[in-house]
Amino acid sequence: MLRIRHTDENPHEASEINVTPFIDVMLVLLIIFMVTAPLTTVNVPVDLPSSTEKPTPRPDEPVFLTLKADHSLALGEDTISADALPTDLAQATKGDKEQRIFLRADKTVDYGSLMSIMDKLRASGYLKVALVNLQGQEEGQEQHGD
């Protein structure tokens, strides 16, 4: 007896890649990243008033604007009001809005108050602002005068 074999009688091996486990792993990773991403932007207390970097060269006649602990302003050595800031700065810089303003703030001043003064400087046209800190001191050291 002669038997004819048909090709569809042979068992076929699956030659396709099963992507279901891959998709499951990717979904789990997506969920992990979605949960952990907001945790990477945690508010960290930062104290930034001192630096050990070498100071940049200072101009011949620097313009210092100081925000004191009681939130009052001083331009150079003179106390000024926040309302008079644009006119007093124009006098101190001789109308040169490209001149760099050195902004000093007491370390107890809150960030919002500092940003308020920087906004007033920007509104007045002074875009070059340098933040001044204590030079050559490590964190926690006091400056001693001998």
Domains recognised in the chain with CATH numbers: 51-135 (3.30.420.270)
What is the biggest distance separating any 2 CA atoms in the chain, rounded to whole angstroms?
119
pLDDT of residue 145: 43
How many whole angstroms from its chain centre is CA 62?
25
What are the residue ranges of helices labelled H in the chain?
Answer: 20-36, 85-92, 111-123
Of 12-21, 56-65, 94-103, 136-145, the range with the highest mean pLDDT is 94-103
Find residue 86's DSSP bridge partners: none
pLDDT of residue 39: 65
pLDDT of residue 25: 93
- What is the average per-residue pLDDT within 58-67? 79
Comparing 7-11, 34-38, 63-67, the range with the smallest average pLDDT is 7-11
